[in-house]
Amino acid sequence: MTTTVRTSSLLAISDLTVRFRLPDATVHAVTDIDIAVAPGELLAVVGESGCGKSVLAHALLGLLPANATVTGKAVLRGGDKPVDLLAADEKTLARTVRGRRIGLVPQSPATALTPVRTGRHLLEETLRAHGQARKHAEAVAAGVGLTPADLDLYPHELSGGMAQRLATALALAPDPPLLLADEPTSGLDRPLMDGTLDLLRARCDQGSAVILITHDLAAAERVADTVAVMYASRIVEHRPATEFFAGPRHPYAHALLDALPDRAFTPIPGHPPMLTALPAGCAFAPRCTRARQDCGSQPGPEPDQRGQLACHHPIGDRR
């Protein structure tokens, strides 16, 4: 999908493709992603589990396993000079990108929390490593709903929601210009979920950029400026959030919204394809009531008002 890259973009991704080599198959995890995010923008990447959302985030930070092959470009601007995240070596990513220019709220807090150190130790250590005073730890923690007493607990003593909030605090502490938030509201009750989302929105309002990876469309509607819908490794629709929630044009995106309890509450028929056996054409065609013979070929990306759309027969067009 070809996206016009704005000169003001903080991150510009083009042709990003990720493949995982297995002994008897290849996993087509991410395919031909072209997208950009600007300072002050909150981009929500949404879709069903297994569509490639988290792989996209991990590819940007060089956190994929050894059997992954990554191609394309992902240029991060700002700082001393632009850096292509996909071409950068491990030393560059570890010393100048991760935690400094890009923060990550991981989907599983267990991957970010050292089990033998308290939350306070982890947060103070993070602040010190980035030249900030350790005394700010409690203020950072309070911003995500943690008390001073919570900080004195070890990770195994935290509930799932508390661990998620601590991981969020660790990502926010260095104040990175770009934050990748991978399901940051997992395990949180509604008030804490809304508080976390509002915190991400506030960061964008202060000039940072956030890529929110979520399957929660209600969360995306609450805070997103733009929405990108992924299906079977590809982005199928990308547009301003207000326009998207008013009326998505891709049949899959439309079906996602119709599955919400406050809308039609209608399940999407069928199942997503295996990423090891994707069809040659539109991957959603077997589940789509608008599919026609030409859906056997991959739909090319087309500009659609202020967004992008990959569909031969979008909602709103004559069938």
Domain total for the chain?
1
Distance CA 45, CA 230 (A): 7
Question: Residue 55: which CATH number?
Answer: 3.40.50.300
Q: How far apart are the first and last CA of the chain?
A: 23
C-alpha distances out from residue 34 to 9, 58, 147, 166, 245, Å: 13, 16, 41, 32, 21
At position 218, the amino acid (one-letter code) is A
What mean pLDDT is reported for the chain?
A: 91
Confidence of residue 3 (pLDDT cuts 50, 70, 90): very low
| 148 in a structural domain | no
| 128 in a structural domain | no
Let me know: does 40 contact 6? Beta carbons within 8 Å: no
- Does 79 have pLDDT greater than 90? no
Distance CA 38, CA 114 (A): 33
DSSP string for 82-148: -EETTT--HHHIIIIIBTTTEEEE-SSGGGT--TTS-HHHHHHHHHHHTT--GGGHHHHHHHTT--H
| 136 in a structural domain | no
**Bridge partners, residue 303, by sequence:** 308
Count of positions (residues) in the chain: 319
pTM: 0.92
Average pLDDT over residues 273-302: 92
- Does 6 have pLDDT greater than 60? no
- Please write the tens of the pLDDT for every residue from 88-112: 999 999 999 999 999 999 988 877 7
Provide the token pair at 233: 């490794």
| 133 in a structural domain | no
- Please write the tens of the pLDDT for every residue from 196-210: 899 999 999 999 999
**Bridge partners, residue 227, by sequence:** 44, 239
72 in helix, strand or coil? Answer: strand
| 258 in a structural domain | yes
- Please write the tens of the pLDDT for every residue from 225-264: 999 999 999 999 999 999 999 999 999 999 999 999 888 8
Alpha helices in the chain (DSSP H): 53-60, 90-92, 119-129, 137-143, 148-151, 160-172, 190-205, 217-223, 241-246, 251-258
- Does 177 have pLDDT greater than 70? yes
Q: Residue 227 is part of which domain span?
A: 11-101+176-309
* Cα-based angle 1, 215, 21 (whole degrees, multiple of 5): 60
Q: In 3D, which of 243, 175, 188, 247 has the Cα closest to residue 214?
A: 188
| 26 in a structural domain | yes
Distance CA 92, CA 122 (A): 23
| 186 in a structural domain | yes
Q: Beta strand 26-37 with 11-21: parallel, antiparallel or unpaired?
A: antiparallel
Quick one: residue 144, left, alpha or beta (phi over 0 = left, psi -120 to 50 = alpha)?
alpha
Confidence of residue 161 (pLDDT cuts 50, 70, 90): confident
Let me know: does 59 contact 67? Beta carbons within 8 Å: no
φ/ψ (deg, to 5) at 219 = -65, -45
| 155 in a structural domain | no
